[in-house]
Structure 1
């Protein structure tokens, strides 16, 4: 117990009830601007030569509005955490090759600094592969423009792009390492590599790239228990994921680390993510997990909760799972994760139970900050949607090619591509899209005749009674590139091979690009579209703001923009049926909402709720024509 008291005095994390707010702030800022040492002991981490047990929670700056970063850090302190674990998403920081973005919600350095100001250490996981239920596992889509390039390999083209990115990232993060007076304790190289391959030469190249970029502190790897032999790098700390049996954790790490620790669970799962079409919202027992947390902390093992706060995967950045044992499963935009902090940052019962467990393992007399209050919510009834923009009315200049081109060949990252060709005389038979990625609505002469869905291995439908010279449109949406497993290298999107009718390949294609990076070029009018994919726009005024949740149960499939922010995707199949709106993105006064729906039409209004609907799976109403 005396050793723990010394440890927390060094950290400046012991908050006695008599301390003034000013003194508490001074203690917190001791983590920044003061050089500490951080090293691996035989059984524990050593901070300034004294044992440190990291009690950590994972959060990602891209999933949390920048305005709420400090709020979430304060909540972490209130639960008793002393460390934040965080991934860095390469595709968020280099959306276009050679153009880097570390501003706004991508300001990872500021995220780290705020953690330090709030008295929190950071374990940085730039990897650059992250998995994380994030589009392409964090890799930028433009790597796929070269069909021959292989990610997670010794491919020189991949390593060249990787090196340039890591060097740019290092410029942001090097000064924040503990070796240079910052609060980043250690850096992860690669991520669960043993689940993908076992090339130790490639792993050592990762190490060299990080060192050459200027990451001079402790490096580590992490893997699931069965994959650790393939994924660890000899001589570097091998952390374990998904395991919370104390004896097994210690034995496994010692086996791969010269019969010693320290012992670190890099990903401990108090919850889980949801996928579109899943039969439920994942919920994990707080009491069962609290018991395991108690055992782990009592054994002196350091731990990182994945996730402490998930937040929301906005824009088009959700990933997908797919391998030979399971169908393609894109993940929901809500990343609530049944975490201690919910999607909107509110403490849950799991938060309170975990806090009680952690409190037991802190030095006697330690006073944690109060549990944060639930955030204010509002409900907005009947927002009128009275301005419309049909997608077919906004078709621009096409790209023409004999064969269909993928998103990557069209230099498009996300969104939708409309593929158009003209059918011949008396067309009929099986229309088949070979290697559809991922979801398509099919139109003949502007009328929808069905949908195709990679999830369901539905890549074809029968055409009959079709007039000669009919126009065929196949509207293909990227539902999220695979983020985990062996198919990372097979991730090109759109129509990636060919389209055939009655066994004959169709040619002579026009392709219309809809990346939806913004909506400024779409033309709106008061004429409501019938049975067609369209945007529905409305404005509303507020006297007060608060967190709220769009009720999407009357809508089909699409995404939502609010005041210029892409809030993410919705889909009637659930289980998520709401879209979270953070209060900080609402205005007192006028607000603008735009909903795109590719399946249902005729929308006249939409409302918001003061709480989420995360557990309402539904069967899609129909995959046939509405006409």
Structure 2
């Protein structure tokens, strides 16, 4: 009996050692260890920040006065292909959360399978569209089964890091702005209504995956009624009038609080071809003061945006031919800029927050801005015609989408042979999203979904003609009722004078990894892969100046930096010093429109506001 009592005591002591804090809902405030607690949080997505810079960014959060950080968890990064999970490198969410704890920060986790966030497909993996009949954000069995496996994989990584298990995750969000989705679907499809069964299934899935702490939902103020699940805290997005926030929450939460603004927007994101968004801090200072004075908890979206690298930018679309893909920079005009340096907005917000911290709290000093420098001019020593290094093709009668080709992102070259000796009208039905058309290797036209372009006249020389159509996925829609109309490539048919064109070769060009120019072919009109080696004596943050180039993608030392496009507003690509090294560095560019370009310069500052 003594042995059992001793074992029981050891287990109890172990539990008490782990469960160091409690976090609960009070009638008007959150309760940390039974005492009122006001969350002053900032959003930052670990996936958008180089892993080498995570701690630096967390220290900056602490220096502005934040006590909490919030982050999305994007399904498509963690399960890029069905059943294969990745929690390494920049996907190591557990290490990010642990690091936040070491820096004295609580975490709000947002692993909802749908996130929006100007992220490709709102965070959904592309392969969901290959399951016939699957419907996201519904009780459709295939979706629930895939969702269940995903959330359990996340739970294995981080559920034990909740505050009730001794960790620093104080709340976890299920779903995301579901009320907005319900309202949009109702506008398009009158039979659609809020599905509390689906929201409750979310709750059950999270609990079964180990998320047994506080769960919440969040919606824009006017959509909370449709998007919250009774019994969970309804948080509010986009409203900062204290009286309105309290009224909205009380109406859905048994006339009680606490009150949490889950997304408070100090600025906004950018889309290709549209003006850069900036909002001076003066427009927010009184509003932040008012919210904090009222004791309302707040999460700044974004505190630090970072960069949407790779092909992971999303797009907006309302069905009115207004497809708008987002740029790679997620600077967001946030308090902490893309490179992690404090802005004037940061300093103003820090000043306001400092007046609302517990008595005796002293903020750490603000770290100095990291050095930035222009690198020596890079001259590309190898340049390969893209069409000279194609992989083996996939044959089909009609053109296949990216999804049917089992390709998530990047580019596909569609090739066929047609009879020439005429002028004709070429139409790509439901082009998604950007196509460069070549006739016998010479560029003939460009079609851009943003501009509602799907047709062009072409002049075909005599004889048999090779028709090439290089299609780029510019980003799947991340918000609204078009989430399941997100196939990419040539999604319907190619028509020549109204008649379908058949017998296609499809060359898959995902360019997921840094490419190599396999030969040194002469400049031509086709896209080019360019590579070079440059030498540095010391490293610093830098910004590649792509304003003189056309359109494409850049890699440095194997890291995919994102897209560039001369139309702007983004003209530079941020290269963190952590990804450079003294000595030799390698760079690769895939240039679509100006293959003769062979030199690249850089700046010591970003250019995010220049339309061309």
Q: TM-score, normalised by structure 1?
A: 0.92
Q: 1:517 aligns with which of 509, 512, 515?
A: 512
Looking at structure 1, the residues matched to 281 and 240 of structure 2 have their Cα atoms a distance apart, in angstroms, of 14
Looking at structure 2, the residues matched to 559 and 390 of structure 1 have their Cα atoms a distance apart, in angstroms, of 15
1:112 matched to 2:106: no
How far has the Cα of 1:365 moved from its partner?
3.3
Note if contact 1:32-1:116 (Cα within 8 Å) is conserved in structure 2. Answer: no
User: What's the Cα RMSD here?
Assistant: 1.3
Match of 2:242 in 1: 246
Match of 1:264 in 2: 260
Note if contact 2:530-2:588 (Cα within 8 Å) is conserved in structure 1. Answer: yes
Q: 2:553 aligns with which of 546, 555, 559?
A: 559
How far has the Cα of 1:32 moved from its partner?
9.8
**Distance change >3 Å, CA 32–CA 523, structure 1 → 2:** farther
Match of 1:623 in 2: none
Match of 2:490 in 1: 495
How far has the Cα of 1:386 moved from its partner?
1.3
**Between 496-505 and 358-367, the greater mean CA deviation after superposition:** 358-367
How far has the Cα of 1:567 moved from its partner?
0.5
Q: Aligned ranges for residues 327-406 of structure 1 at < 5 Å? A: 327-406=322-401
How far has the Cα of 1:406 moved from its partner?
0.3
Note if contact 1:387-1:528 (Cα within 8 Å) is conserved in structure 2. Answer: no
| CA deviation vs aligned residue, 1:358-396 (integer Å, no higher than 9, x gap) | 011113432100111001111113111111121101112
Q: 2:452 aligns with which of 445, 457, 461?
A: 457
Note if contact 2:385-2:521 (Cα within 8 Å) is conserved in structure 1. Answer: no
1:568 matched to 2:562: yes
Looking at structure 1, the residues matched to 471 and 17 of structure 2 have their Cα atoms a distance apart, in angstroms, of 49
How far has the Cα of 1:601 moved from its partner?
1.9
SS at match of 2:283: helix
**Between 594-603 and 49-58, the greater mean CA deviation after superposition:** 594-603
| CA deviation vs aligned residue, 1:223-275 (integer Å, no higher than 9, x gap) | 00111111111111000000011110010110111101000000000111000
Match of 1:318 in 2: 313
SS at match of 2:323: strand
How far has the Cα of 1:427 moved from its partner?
4.3
Q: Aligned ranges for residues 190-205 of structure 1 at < 5 Å? A: 190-197=175-182, 198-205=194-201
1:416 matched to 2:401: no
Match of 1:27 in 2: none
Give the gaps of 5 or more residues in structure 2. 1-15, 183-193
Q: 1:445 aligns with which of 437, 440, 443?
A: 440
How far has the Cα of 1:149 moved from its partner?
1.3
Give the gaps of 5 or more residues in structure 1. 1-30, 619-627
Note if contact 2:514-2:559 (Cα within 8 Å) is conserved in structure 1. Answer: no
Looking at structure 2, the residues matched to 177 and 525 of structure 1 have their Cα atoms a distance apart, in angstroms, of 53
Q: 2:581 aligns with which of 583, 587, 590?
A: 587
Count of residue pairs the alignment pairs up = 586
**Between 475-484 and 326-335, the greater mean CA deviation after superposition:** 326-335
1:223 matched to 2:219: yes
Note if contact 1:427-1:468 (Cα within 8 Å) is conserved in structure 2. Answer: no
Looking at structure 1, the residues matched to 289 and 147 of structure 2 have their Cα atoms a distance apart, in angstroms, of 40
Looking at structure 1, the residues matched to 132 and 270 of structure 2 have their Cα atoms a distance apart, in angstroms, of 31
**Between 183-192 and 385-394, the greater mean CA deviation after superposition:** 385-394
**Distance change >3 Å, CA 321–CA 593, structure 1 → 2:** same
SS at match of 1:311: coil
Q: TM-score, normalised by structure 2?
A: 0.94
Note if contact 1:536-1:603 (Cα within 8 Å) is conserved in structure 2. Answer: no
Looking at structure 1, the residues matched to 460 and 127 of structure 2 have their Cα atoms a distance apart, in angstroms, of 41
| CA deviation vs aligned residue, 1:270-321 (integer Å, no higher than 9, x gap) | 111000011x210012012111000000000000000000000001100000
Looking at structure 1, the residues matched to 412 and 519 of structure 2 have their Cα atoms a distance apart, in angstroms, of 23
| CA deviation vs aligned residue, 1:17-73 (integer Å, no higher than 9, x gap) | xxxxxxxxxxxxxx9955211110000001111100000000011100001101111
Looking at structure 1, the residues matched to 134 and 419 of structure 2 have their Cα atoms a distance apart, in angstroms, of 38
Match of 2:12 in 1: none
Q: 1:69 aligns with which of 54, 58, 76?
A: 54
